[in-house]
A = this chain, B = another copy of it.
Amino acid sequence: MSRQIEIVEVGPRDGLQNDPVLLPTEVKLEFIDRLIGAGVTRMEAASFVHPKLVPAMADSDEIMARVPRGKGVKYIGLALNERGMRRAIECECDEINFVMVASKGFGKRNQNATPEETADLLDRIAILAHDAQIPLSATISVAFGDPFDGEVDIAVVAELARRAEAAGAVEIALGDTIGVASPWDVRARIEAVRDAAPRSRLRLHFHNTRNTALANVYAAVEAGVDVIDASAGGIGGCPFAPRATGNVATEDVVYMLHRGGYETGIDLDKMIETAQWLETDALKHNIESMLSKAGPFPGRLAE
C-alpha cells in the first residue's frame, strides 16, 4: 500500500467559482502562490467555460498567463466542450479536466447534456488533447447521487469510466458533487470503476455537505486510491447543486492523513495559514474547515 497520497488542490477553481465574493486576479495569484508555498504541486487553476455562466472564472486566461512556471507545479484547466478545450490548450495548461455527468437531471442543468452525450463529447475532446500532447482527465460528476434525480446507478458510473478510459483519459475522478456519499458507496464505486477501467488512475472528489467527506477519503485510501481532491479552507460548491457546501478542506484531509502515517508533501501549518488568510483577508467570510479553527495535534492545543 502506498504511503504517499497526492492532494489535488481545487481551491482556485472549484473553490472560488461559486463563492459570492469575486476575487481580483491579483488576489487569486497570491492564493496560488500561498498554495505553492504550502507544498501544493498540482492544482485546478482555471475554468474555460463561458464567463457569463461562471463569472468568477472569467480571468482564467490571464491567470494561466501569470502563474509561476518551472517550479514543478502542474496546473489543471477545466473544459466542458471543444471551444473550452482549445482555450485551455492555448493557455498552456499542464493538464485538462473534462466533466462527464452520471445522471440526467444534473447533466441538463450543469452542462445541458445527458451522460451519453458527455461521453460522446469526451471522445471528440480527447482527440484535441492527444494532438496537443496534454494529459486529459475525466471527472464523473454526481457519481454518488443527483440532487434532482436521486439515486445514481452504479452501472452508469462504470460505463462512463469505461468510455473515459477508451477515449484516452489518463485519470478518472469520481465526484460526489452534492456530498451524499457514504464510505461504503465509495468502496463499491471504486470496485466497479476498477473493473470497468482497469488501466486508469483513480482520483476521488468529495464535498462535506453531510459530514462524510473525511470518512470517504479514508475509505478511498483504504481501497488503494492515492489521489484526492481538496480545497484550502473547504471553500467551494457547485452553483447547480442545491445546498452543496464546500469541498473537503485540504488542511483537514492533510491532518487526517498525516496522523495516519501518510505523506502528502503539504506543510499543514502553512495550509492552515492559507485557509485563515482566505477567511480574514481574501474572502472575508467564514470558511468551513475545522483544522483552521482547532489547530493541529499535538502542538498548539494547550497554549
A residues touching B (Cβ–Cβ < 8 Å)? 105, 145, 147-148, 150-151, 178-185, 208-215, 217-219, 242-243, 245, 249, 252, 255-257, 259-261, 289-291, 293-295, 297-298, 301-302
Contacts and interface: CB of A to CB of B under 8 A. Distances in A.
Contacts of A293: 243, 245
Contact of A243 (B218, B295, B298): B295
Nearest to A294: B209
A297 B145 CA distance: 8
23 contacts: A147-B302, A148-B302, A151-B298, A180-B259, A180-B297, A181-B259, A184-B260, A185-B260, A210-B256, A210-B290, A211-B211, A211-B213, A211-B214, A211-B256, A211-B291, A212-B214, A212-B252, A215-B217, A215-B218, A243-B293, A243-B295, A245-B293, A245-B294
Contacts of A298: 145, 150-151, 180
A290 B208 contact: yes
B215 A301 contact: no
A183 B256 CA distance: 8
Contacts of A210: 252, 255-256, 290-291, 294, 297
Given A184-B259, A218-B218, A260-B183, A301 B212 contact: no
8 closest residue pairs by CB, A with B: A150-B298, A182-B259, A184-B260, A180-B297, A211-B290, A215-B215, A211-B252, A214-B215
Contacts of A185: 259-260
Contacts of A151: 298
